[in-house]
Chain A
Amino acid sequence: MASHKTAQIRLVSSHDEVYEPCDDSFALVDALLADRTNLLEHHPTLCMEIGCGSGYVITSLALILGQEGSGVNYIATDINPHAVKVTHETMEAHGVNAELIITDIAAGLENRLAGMVDVMVVNPPYVPTPEDEVGSEGITSSWAGGENGRSVIDRILPVADNLLSKKGWLYLVTLTANNPSEICGEMRKKGYASKIVVQRSTEEESLHIIKFWKDLDNEIEEINDQSPTGFMGSLLAQIPLLSLWRSKQ
């Protein structure tokens, strides 16, 4: 079992009201695989997923990085109780485990877990929808993201910033409609650099998996740099594809 690098679809559990692994889930796991060497050298102690759904992503991360014996522990949350149960079954089927909590984003963890998460993975509900579909009952809340698909993402980003350790990394799935360049700009203000690890276009959507990390060297410089060109300029240096997004808008 340990020879498989990621979760196997046939071992992923399911439920009517739980998001099944889709293109976005696969893109996120591909990003983790693409960054595998870095992840192993990063020696994370605590890894976390917000919105674990079927458990496909956190199971894959655990297979990539190893378990307690390797000194790594995992925490996963979802607001949907069925999803957390399905994640538990998926992990068990792969012989890995995580601490699972039914909660809204990371409510209940924000005091004591602050600054402790070394790797965070998030495939949020990102589809632009009417605001009242966000957080509604059932499967809808697994993808409904409100205006520009940003409602849940914008609540997750400050939580991620609070929970990530000094060396913490965040891998986030975004859609072009979410305005990823603006998300990177918001995170830049909090002192994070970013880059696209995987970009994938399907007929319906164009997905970007963005990795964020604390850019400790440049933090002060950026805060002092108020000129819009300087700010965007440094962003563009980080992410060449930003120019692409900008020209599309």
Chain B
Amino acid sequence: MRLLTHNMLSSNIKGVVNGFPLRIEAEKVLEKNVEMNSDFLKKMFEKIEWKAFVEASRGMGYTELPEEADSSMLDSDEFLNRFHHALLELHLEEGALVCPETGRRFPVRKGIPNMLLHEDEV
């Protein structure tokens, strides 16, 4: 699971009001290089919740993202490289996503989060 996906995922347990962002518990993180596409990054930048993104990247052991970001930074190659790396190249391979409100853990195994709810959570 990439941080792109993490930024789009919420806990949707019945009754949970604010299920975003899920806290990352990382047991194993992988890095896989992919080609950069700056148009994609510019489009995604508008959609990303930056604070959640920075927090998640720290949870994955990456600390090179600036605390705050605005679109003028997209002109900087250095910023784009870091954004690209954190968004698309870091993978949570083993670990869990934890609901911020209830503490319920959604397991991530072999890179795949399991968001299925138990019967009493629907």
Contacts and interface: CB of A to CB of B under 8 A. Distances in A.
B37 A108 contact: no
Interface in B6-20: 7-12, 19-20
Q: Interface majority SS on B: helix, strand, loop or mixed?
A: loop
Interface in A38-86: 45, 67-73, 75, 79, 81, 84-85
A108 B40 contact: no
A83 to B, nearest CB: 11
B85 interface: no
B88 A68 contact: yes
Interface residues of A, number: 28
A57 B12 CA distance: 27
B96 to A, nearest CB: 13
A93 interface: no
Contacts of B5: 75, 99, 101
A232 interface: no
A182 interface: no
A116 B49 CA distance: 14
Interface of A: 45, 67-73, 75, 79, 81, 84-85, 88, 99-104, 107-113, 116
28 contacts: A68-B34, A69-B35, A69-B37, A73-B88, A75-B5, A79-B116, A85-B112, A88-B111, A99-B1, A99-B2, A100-B111, A101-B5, A101-B9, A101-B113, A102-B114, A102-B115, A103-B116, A104-B116, A107-B115, A107-B117, A108-B10, A108-B12, A109-B10, A111-B20, A112-B49, A113-B8, A116-B8, A116-B47
